[in-house]
Amino acid sequence: MKRICLLLFVVIAFTFQTNAQLLKDAKKLLNTKGKGLTEKDASDGIKEALINGTGESVKLVSALNGYWGNPEIKIPFPPDAREMESKLRSIGMGKKVDEFNESMNRAAEKAGSEAKPIFVSAIKEMTVKDAINIVRGENNAATMYLKQTTSPQLMQKFQPIIKTSLDNVDATKYWNDLITIYNKIPLVKKMNPNLSEYVTQKAIDGLFVMIAKEELKIRKWFDDFAQANNI
C-alpha cells in the first residue's frame, strides 16, 4: 500500500512541479510510511493524475501541427489508396496529394479537443479497484483502460466533427478532385474509400499514442525514484 500511495503522489505532483520539488515532497511522504492514506485516497489520486495526463495529451494533439507535425501520429494517405497516391504522383499531382494529406491532419487537430470531456467522464466513473489495478498493471494499463472504455464514444463524437472539419479545411474537395482524376486513368481500379471514417480512426489512434507516452513517462520517473530509494 505504501508503494501504491507513493506512486499516486508522484504522478500527481509530476504534472505540476519541478523535479527538485517533487523529489523533496516524495521523500517527505516516504518518511511517513504511507500512514493515513487509504485505497480511496489512492483511487482519487490516480483519477486526478489521469485527468491531468489525458488533458495534456488532448492539448498536444489539438494544437497546430499536433498531428501534421508529429511523425508518430501523422495521418498518412489511406492505405487502401496507396496505389492511387503513387499513380497521381507519377502524373505530376504530387502537390495536390500533399495538400490533401495536410488537410486530413488539420481536420484531426480541429476535432482533438472534443476528447477531453469523454476522458474525464470515464475516469470519474472508475472504481477503486480499477484505479488500483491500473497502478499495479503494465506500463500501458491506464491507456488500455481508457481505450476500452472510451473508444465507442470517441468514434461517435469525433466522426461528425471530423466530417465537418474535412469540409472546412477543403480535404473533402481535395479528395474528390483526386478521386475524379485517378478514376479517369485507364485500367485502374475505381475507388472511393470512406474518408471521414478513416481520418476519425487514425485521429483516435494518434491520441492514444500520446496518452501512452504520458503514462510511460510518469511510470519511468517513479521506477527510477523507487529504485534510487529502495522502495
Tell me: the pLDDT tens digits for 189-220?
777 668 888 899 999 999 999 999 888 877 77
DSSP 3-state assignment of 187? coil
List helix spans (H) across 137-170.
141-168
- Distant-in-sequence, close-in-space partners of 78: CB < 8 Å, separation ≥ 6: 193, 195, 198
For cell 492514444, name the residue.
208
For cell 483502460, name the residue.
145
Name the pTM for this structure. Answer: 0.78
Lowest average pLDDT, out of 22-31, 135-144, 189-198, goes to 22-31
Using pLDDT thresholds of 50, 70 and 90, give the confidence band for residue 19: very low
